[in-house]
Amino acid sequence: MNILVLVKQVPDISIIKIDPVTNTLIRSGVPSIINPDDLAGVEEALVLKERYGGKVTVITMGPLQAENMIYSLYARGVDEGYLLTDRKFAGSDTWATSNILSSMIKTLPYDLIIAGYQAIDGDTAQVGPQVAEFLNIPQVTHVSKIIEQKNYKLIVEKKYEEETHHLSVNMPCLITTVKSMNTPRLMKADLAMHIENKTVHIIGVDGIIVDQKEIGLQGSPTKVKKTYTKEVIKRSSPIEIEPKEAAMRILSLIK
């Protein structure tokens, strides 16, 4: 089974803080991590590879430093990795990003594409389905479990708010994964130690077939007008109080 996994390196937002003086994000010193939903997808891919044989390839679009992420994925058992990096890709919204990614994917063989449901920085959940659309393949988003592959169809479980569906999707297809679906394996120390035996394919705009007017900032249908942090309002000043008094006041307010 040839599996492609779309991965993204993102800042660890659980550590991000806001500078109380300037009210802007403190971006420096925030470590980068593999987007959790994507890492769950890599884990699913590796499990499928163990079950059915085949190859797991990861693809990411990002700055050059994302190469380190691919090496750490190699240390988990991923076979091959592509880093799409080029100044011309900068400023891409999800449409342009999906355009770039699918242009790369079109050059590779695949039976299944796995993407994380959403990235913790952009929070859009759009790239997976948009890539599926560009490639004209079926999709199931927010998969809770991969059950099996049978007769070149993928059987998956998708949990909606009140019911759970078991679905059979024709392959090749794209699914999006959520971090709650598994506990991703760690790197193997021996694979990490010998990581220099492997290389990452670095691909720029000349390595893919794409209309340069449809990438980057200029190729993005959406543009960011502005970003801002939420004003820290202060509605009340905290007062010290005995628990019994607090409980009485709360009970009276919620009756």
Total residues contacting another protein by CB under 8 A comes to: 91
Cβ 121 vs Cβ 11: under 8 Å: yes
Site for another protein in 60-99 (CB under 8 A): 68, 71-72, 75, 93-95, 98
- How many angstroms separate the CA atoms of 118 and 120, rounded? 6
Structure tokens at 50: 């163990």
- How many angstroms separate the CA atoms of 80 and 201, rounded? 8
Q: Which is nearer to another protein, 87 or 194 (CB)?
A: 194
Q: Is 222 in the site for another protein (CB under 8 A)?
A: yes
Q: Which is nearer to another protein, 107 or 229 (CB)?
A: 229
Site for another protein in 139-178 (CB under 8 A): 139-142, 155, 159-170, 173
Q: Which is nearer to another protein, 206 or 234 (CB)?
A: 234
Q: Is 227 in the site for another protein (CB under 8 A)?
A: yes
Q: Which is nearer to another protein, 11 or 207 (CB)?
A: 11
- CA 205 from centroid of its chain's CA atoms: 22
Q: Segment near another protein (CB under 8 A), from 37-45, 78-86, 105-113, 231-239?
A: 231-239
Site for another protein in 109-128 (CB under 8 A): 120-128
- CA 247 from centroid of its chain's CA atoms: 44
Q: Would you tell me the crossing angle of helices 127-135 and 94-105 to the nearest 10 degrees? A: 50
- How many angstroms separate the CA atoms of 66 and 86, rounded? 12
What's the min distance (Å) between Cβ of 60 and another protein? 17
Cβ atoms < 10 Å from Cβ of 55: 16
What's the min distance (Å) between Cβ of 8 and another protein? 13
Which residue in the set 3, 39, 78, 132 belongs to the binding site for another protein (CB under 8 A)?
Answer: 132
Site for another protein in 26-65 (CB under 8 A): none
- How many angstroms separate the CA atoms of 152 and 138, rounded? 13
Q: Which is nearer to another protein, 16 or 90 (CB)?
A: 16
Which residue in the set 188, 199, 204, 212 belongs to the binding site for another protein (CB under 8 A)?
Answer: 188
Q: Is 130 in the site for another protein (CB under 8 A)?
A: yes
- How many angstroms separate the CA atoms of 169 and 174, rounded? 9
Structure tokens at 232: 């820290």
Q: Which is nearer to another protein, 22 or 160 (CB)?
A: 160
Q: Compute CA distances 241 → 101, 180, 236, 248, 255, whole Å.
A: 57, 40, 15, 11, 21
What's the min distance (Å) between Cβ of 254 and another protein? 4
Reduce the DSSP state of residue 212 to 3 states and report it: helix
